[in-house]
Structure 1
Amino acid sequence: MVRVSTSKSGDLGSNPGLLKFCMTQCQEGLKSETKTTMSRSSKKNGYKSPAKSPTSLTESQMEEQIKEAKLQCKNLIKNYSPKTHRHNDEVKTSITRLNKIYNVFKPLPPETATKCRRAIGLFFVDNDLVPILCEIVIDYLKTGWLDAEGKQDVSLFSTMHEAVLILVNYSDSSVEISDCEADVPGFFECVGEQLKNLHVKLSTGKPATLLDQRMTGTLLDISNNTSNADKGRKKLRELGFMQILKPFLQLKDEGLKLTAFVCLATLVDEKESGMLHGSVSLVSFLLNVLSKALKHPTRRNHGWSARELTQAVTKLARSDVNKKLLVKEGALPLLLELCNAQNKEEQREAVNALWALSFDDENKELIIQEPGMMKRLMELGKSSDADVKKSALGIMWILRYNLRDKKDYHELGKNLIGKRLKTSKSPSKEPDSGDFQHVMISYQWDSQDVLLKVRDQLRTQGYNIWMDVDCMEGSTLQAMADAVENSAAVLMCMSRKYKDSPNCRAEAEYAFQRRVPIIPLLMEDGYKADGWLGILLGSKLFFDFSGRYSFESRFDSLIKALGVKGQTGEQGVKVTSQSDTSKGQDTADSAAGKIIPVVKSKILSVAPPVSEEKAKVVKLWGNKEITSWLKSNKLDRSSMSTLSGKQLVFLRNLKGESPETFYGLLQKNLALTSIEDLMNFVDALTELL
């Protein structure tokens, strides 16, 4: 589909060339509407094939189209020249054909269409077509699409726009394309500058034609797709795209605003998420677009499918601050409607979004209270779709203690808390050798290759290793719980994707709650643990397996940190219990091999448990009760004025579970830096709970 904005900031009547262009598109049967999307798998822009689109394709027809795409790719590469491409009809023909081929797969089931498009996209990458397309786009963006008289030349614009669309469309199925784009010198620098210029036209009343609006939408699209790739996200952040995109949130054009909003949700980290949750209207706007999509026969709005909009909700929910706001603005009924849909893709996205939202304490109660929600989650927990089933069970796992306290769901909560995996082959036990513990590797799948090497090397050193690729028998949820409970230590393999994964968070928080020693491994160069992961790890230093240093130097340090935890050895030495403490270890975290001490990974003395009755009362405290308590203990100061009853209970529990993290929070967040201030607060908190 061709991107032509419905908000007309340009006058067709005053531009005969543009009018002729738009009339031609209508004659070709192309739909004129704003298209700003996060994922383009079912609504690609481009030119419709002259032949009538088939209702389906045979396998041989699919193969023919893939062969044709490969042929056009080779032709484009052969005929391309930086100096002459603008006047080369063969180059233009190949670009147009590649766009048409993309749309040929539209009638196919989404998974089949994606498979075909991915095969083509990977061929582009393997044959270095991506840099050529980027160079074509750079040339046009720098020199413009103006004719000799300085007027916009529709034919030049069309070629450039189609080149961008190839990158946008196929990168949806092949993230490798986005990584290639990030490597092309000057490409996103040029895209960023063009977006700045276009925003000025669109926001200040300066002349902006429909071509400008279409170009804005397409450049926002390619930025959004690229933000989903690790290398691309890093590149956009380095180039300051957050500040480039932020002004687009104020545009009247809802389609452009939506794409900028979703792209920003991917780019920001926990500390920067304020630029998104600062405006309730933006979250409300997103949910309103989703609501309208669910009511439309096509289940689309502003060119976005309900599935894609739900992905955007999940992106926003990565920030703990946004979790509350999304639920407050009405996300739960919409997600339940998606869960009730027959479309498996929509179900997958909906339960994944709910899983992300369920980590907030207030949301837990609201999810349970949402009419029909628990009934549907229990049904989806038996789904034939593995992803849907896993997420639904994951949600109920997070809600387990809240469910136990509800009359209607008491047995469900009780079973979730007490149920354990029982298989004939348990990875944490060795026949006739006693009750051995293992070292659990908790990771996100993008880091798997490196961690398989870590696993294999640890096993050669006599360690009993639990990794999901070896040990996932029966229920995934129960396998995870069993793995944590039988761990002598957990290697927590941190990255941005680990932090954003509900499954990884469930593992990490359960290990934290069980007071299992945690040893952090850094898997993403430059990543700094933030949000819930930063709180959980506290000031622990990490072992860098991101590739910056040699694997051998990191591994040697890791062995020292583990000591005998999880080690069986040839003699079957029994692992120390969780109450044992580990000696101080060293790790080398510089290219020169200098030694940097690692914070001891040990279990500190456990504080007396918090009284449940007292905790229930304090959780209900409002500002009045908090102020009174602070004054009575001579703690009334501005840094504590925003404390809530729930936060006091959390801090009291944290004191027993992770003193290191507890005292770090008091110093950093509550500005308690003197020994006397710390002593007064801790004494008052201990007396209260």
Structure 2
Amino acid sequence: MTDIGQTVKDATRRLKAFTANNDFEISQGLVNELGEIYEAHTNHDENGQTKIVHAFDSEDGADVIVRIVSILSKKEDELTTTAQKCFRQCYNILWDFSDTPGNFVKHLMNTCIVRQCIENLRTGSKSTSNKFFFLQGELDLIRQSLGILYNISRDENAADVFDEDDLSFLLPYKEGDDEYLKALSAMILAFLSDEKINGIQGEKDTTEYMVKLLRGAKHTAEHRKQGLSCTELIDGITRLVLNDSNKETVREVQGVSLLMEFVKGNNLSEQEAAAKCLWTLSFSPSVQQELKSFMEELDSISCDDGSKEVLTKMIKGILLTLKSSEQNDEIRGSKESKGSHIMVSYSWDGGNGEKRARNIARNLKSRGFKVWIDVDEMTGSLLDAMAEAVNNSYLFILCVSDGYRKSNNCRLEAKYANGQKKVLLPVLVDSTLTSRKDWLAFLCSDMLYVDFREDNKFHSKCEELANQIHRLTGETDETDTSQSSRVLKRSNTLAFSSNAGDWGPEDVSIWLRENDLQGLACSLEGADGNTIAALRKMRREAPEFFYRSLWECDDKFKAQKLMMLLKFTRAMDQL
């Protein structure tokens, strides 16, 4: 019996040799042979497809095919009929193979194919004046290019190979009449969506269209729409709602109840995807109100017999988010937080950030601090253990990384800790706080942090961190190394003295300089002690509004509006 993997390797080696000599007459035959081998395994033979792609990839097949595409694209107007067929078949191979599990798509990302596909799309959109009636060859190439970019966009590192500030090449297709091209364009935008990218993928119509596709797919026998499965569409919506503005859009178009229908269904893949999407949505206050009507149903699904572990975890995440929001409302106004340990919160992404977080925890333990980190302390239910760890902490260290800001678990931990009025202390382990305007930046916007991104400064930064902890805890009993019970001030940089209400604008300016907050001087121009007191009250009673308002005061007009709002609030308090 012929070993299909060896056959593919042999064909790829021969293709590599002939391509190196620019012998495209023979190369096109080998390209067709590879395409036919894959096609023969398309019907319910995923293992065979994976084996073919793995063998192809082991011989640097991505580089070989992309080289052929690059050379032939420069001669496209001069190509013979057989050369054109080879050109199209190369794109088909890249489209099919990039949709197969494995490392092929990662290797493909290191070639020039993304740039080549984008150029195809830019050229295609100019073929006619904003109408999509292409010649069949042009339409095929556009579909192939969008298909390849879609498969690449699903990789976790895809944003690294796209120009996130210029995704305009997708707009003619997203706004066009071809439903298939619209669907692929919307999915690419969804998977490249991130809080740091504003504009195109934050638009309301993209989110609405994705929910519309999902609703249509649900009512087909195959649970597919425009070639996209319900699971794929839900995953795309999940990426879109990382942007908080899109959460509200999903709620407005009845997307929450639609996702609940999938959670209550019997397709496990769709159930897990929908539950993950609802968990991400559950951080929106307006979505929380709608989800609370489903709590009983969610609770019954989460009490599974253990055969649906991932689904149960997602649902418990939703329930804990909803319950923690209720608890946070109940404890508003609490001024103190007690606990027995420091909690180190980080993302399990396997990168440098995770390693640094664990090293930080070890160093703190060596200094006599009692530290909770899941590597040592996790028992029983993940989410139950997290809630208990937060409740028993007196200081919550956030290890800021890109993985942290994208993780529902981490977001739940941080917001739960904030709601429980724990003292938060950010440390940078592989990302920044200042380059983004997202939930994590809002949460930490007024806080001092320790930067651990340079490994050669690790020990000095640990010393700095220990000093910060002592400052925040206000430790007076140096013999109490067990850190058994502390009463902490809620704020780290907004430490308020008893006579702060008498401060004038000059006192506020001095206070900002002393706390290294000169960047807020423009936003708080003219603010006095009463203004700072009002801001402090706002932070306690409406933290998300506080952070968003302060962050968006990036010009004088917005700052003046905030100052006027605070004066109005004080005036009402005096009635």
Superposition TM-score tier, normalisation by shorter sequence: 0.7 to 0.9
Structural mapping, 1:58-73, within 5 Å: 64-66=3-5, 68-70=7-9, 72-73=11-12
Tell me the equivalent position of 2:512.
none
3-state SS in 2 of match to 1:201: coil
Give the deviation of 1:341 after TM superposition.
2.0
Tell me the equivalent position of 2:441.
534
Structural mapping, 1:255-266, within 5 Å: 255-266=180-191
The partner residue of 1:182 within 102, 109, 115 is: 109
For 1:354 and 1:286, how far apart are their aligned partners in 2?
Answer: 15
Tell me the equivalent position of 2:323.
400
3-state SS in 2 of match to 1:374: helix
Give the deviation of 1:65 after TM superposition.
4.6
Structural mapping, 1:137-148, within 5 Å: 137-144=69-76, 147-148=79-80
For 2:309 and 2:535, how far apart are their aligned partners in 1?
Answer: 37
For 1:651 and 1:323, how far apart are their aligned partners in 2?
Answer: 27
Give the deviation of 1:321 after TM superposition.
1.0
For 1:677 and 1:576, how far apart are their aligned partners in 2?
Answer: 44
Tell me the equivalent position of 1:294.
218
Matched, 1:128 2:60: yes
Tell me the equivalent position of 2:384.
478
Matched, 1:160 2:90: yes
Tell me the equivalent position of 2:141.
215
CA contact (8 A) 1:498 1:504 kept: yes
Tell me the equivalent position of 2:483.
575
**TM-score, normalised on structure 2?**
0.77
Deviations 1:478-497 (A, max 9, x none): 11111222334333233444
Tell me the equivalent position of 1:193.
119
Identify if the C-alpha distance between structure 1 residues 206 and 486 changes in structure 2 by more than 3 Å, giving closer, same or farther.
Answer: closer
For 1:125 and 1:458, how far apart are their aligned partners in 2?
Answer: 45
Matched, 1:375 2:325: no
Tell me the equivalent position of 2:23.
84
For 1:649 and 1:400, how far apart are their aligned partners in 2?
Answer: 27
Give the deviation of 1:167 after TM superposition.
4.4
3-state SS in 1 of match to 2:87: helix
The partner residue of 1:338 within 240, 262, 287 is: 262
For 1:272 and 1:499, how far apart are their aligned partners in 2?
Answer: 14
Tell me the equivalent position of 2:276.
352
For 1:94 and 1:438, how far apart are their aligned partners in 2?
Answer: 61
CA contact (8 A) 2:399 2:426 kept: yes
For 1:264 and 1:671, how far apart are their aligned partners in 2?
Answer: 31
Structural mapping, 1:388-467, within 5 Å: 388-400=311-323, 436-447=340-351, 448-467=354-373
Tell me the equivalent position of 1:424.
none
For 1:524 and 1:402, how far apart are their aligned partners in 2?
Answer: 29
Matched, 1:562 2:466: yes
CA contact (8 A) 1:142 1:190 kept: no
Identify if the C-alpha distance between structure 1 residues 674 and 145 changes in structure 2 by more than 3 Å, giving closer, same or farther.
Answer: closer
Give the deviation of 1:193 after TM superposition.
1.3
Deviations 1:607-641 (A, max 9, x none): 9xxxxxxxxxxxxxxxxxxxxxxxxxxxxxxxxxx
CA contact (8 A) 2:345 2:413 kept: no
The farther-off stretch of 329-338 and 514-523 is 514-523
Look up the equivalent residue of 1:210 and give its one-letter code.
Q
Matched, 1:680 2:567: yes
CA contact (8 A) 2:193 2:243 kept: no
The percentage of aligned residue pairs carrying the same residue is 20
Give the deviation of 1:319 after TM superposition.
1.3
Matched, 1:502 2:425: no
Tell me the equivalent position of 1:103.
42
Identify if the C-alpha distance between structure 1 residues 313 and 574 changes in structure 2 by more than 3 Å, giving closer, same or farther.
Answer: same
Look up the equivalent residue of 1:365 and give its one-letter code.
Q
Deviations 1:72-122 (A, max 9, x none): 555544554262245325642553256337626x356xxxx5xx7667656
For 2:544 and 2:239, how far apart are their aligned partners in 1?
Answer: 29
Look up the equivalent residue of 1:471 and give its one-letter code.
E
For 1:262 and 1:86, how far apart are their aligned partners in 2?
Answer: 37
Give the deviation of 1:578 after TM superposition.
5.6
Deviations 1:107-159 (A, max 9, x none): 56xxxx5xx766765665565333223222322333327535xx796523333
Look up the equivalent residue of 1:380 and give its one-letter code.
S
CA contact (8 A) 2:549 2:562 kept: no
Deviations 1:410-446 (A, max 9, x none): xxx99xx9xxxxxxxxxxxxxxxxx841331322425
Tell me the equivalent position of 2:501.
none
CA contact (8 A) 2:196 2:436 kept: no
Identify if the C-alpha distance between structure 1 residues 283 and 673 changes in structure 2 by more than 3 Å, giving closer, same or farther.
Answer: closer
For 1:124 and 1:573, how far apart are their aligned partners in 2?
Answer: 59
For 1:451 and 1:177, how far apart are their aligned partners in 2?
Answer: 31
For 2:279 and 2:128, how far apart are their aligned partners in 1?
Answer: 38
Tell me the equivalent position of 1:33.
none
The partner residue of 1:664 within 541, 550, 557 is: 550
CA contact (8 A) 1:438 1:464 kept: yes
For 2:408 and 2:278, how far apart are their aligned partners in 1?
Answer: 10
3-state SS in 2 of match to 1:520: strand
Structural mapping, 1:193-272, within 5 Å: 193-201=119-127, 204-205=130-131, 208-237=134-163, 240-270=165-195, 272=197
For 2:107 and 2:572, how far apart are their aligned partners in 1?
Answer: 54
Identify if the C-alpha distance between structure 1 residues 438 and 139 changes in structure 2 by more than 3 Å, giving closer, same or farther.
Answer: same
Look up the equivalent residue of 2:318 and give its one-letter code.
I
Q: Which runs of 5+ in 2 are unaligned?
A: 332-338, 474-478, 499-533
CA contact (8 A) 1:339 1:347 kept: yes
Identify if the C-alpha distance between structure 1 residues 183 and 162 changes in structure 2 by more than 3 Å, giving closer, same or farther.
Answer: same
Tell me the equivalent position of 1:645.
none
CA contact (8 A) 2:118 2:169 kept: yes
CA contact (8 A) 2:9 2:59 kept: no
The farther-off stretch of 212-221 and 654-663 is 654-663
CA contact (8 A) 1:75 1:94 kept: no
Identify if the C-alpha distance between structure 1 residues 517 and 177 changes in structure 2 by more than 3 Å, giving closer, same or farther.
Answer: farther
Look up the equivalent residue of 2:234 and give its one-letter code.
T
For 1:73 and 1:679, how far apart are their aligned partners in 2?
Answer: 69
Identify if the C-alpha distance between structure 1 residues 475 and 343 changes in structure 2 by more than 3 Å, giving closer, same or farther.
Answer: same
The farther-off stretch of 549-558 and 294-303 is 549-558
CA contact (8 A) 2:28 2:82 kept: no
Identify if the C-alpha distance between structure 1 residues 663 and 211 changes in structure 2 by more than 3 Å, giving closer, same or farther.
Answer: closer
CA contact (8 A) 1:66 1:120 kept: yes
Look up the equivalent residue of 1:226 and give its one-letter code.
I
3-state SS in 2 of match to 1:672: helix
Look up the equivalent residue of 1:157 and give its one-letter code.
F
Look up the equivalent residue of 2:442 and give its one-letter code.
I
Give the deviation of 1:390 after TM superposition.
1.0
The farther-off stretch of 386-395 and 459-468 is 459-468
The farther-off stretch of 374-383 and 335-344 is 374-383
Q: Which runs of 5+ in 1 are unaligned?
A: 1-60, 406-412, 418-434, 583-599, 608-647
For 1:361 and 1:486, how far apart are their aligned partners in 2?
Answer: 26
Look up the equivalent residue of 1:489 and give its one-letter code.
L
Give the deviation of 1:350 after TM superposition.
0.6
Tell me the equivalent position of 1:366.
290
For 1:524 and 1:502, how far apart are their aligned partners in 2?
Answer: 18
Give the deviation of 1:187 after TM superposition.
3.3
Deviations 1:163-182 (A, max 9, x none): 32244223xx23x4444333
**TM-score, normalised on structure 1?**
0.65
The farther-off stretch of 310-319 and 269-278 is 269-278
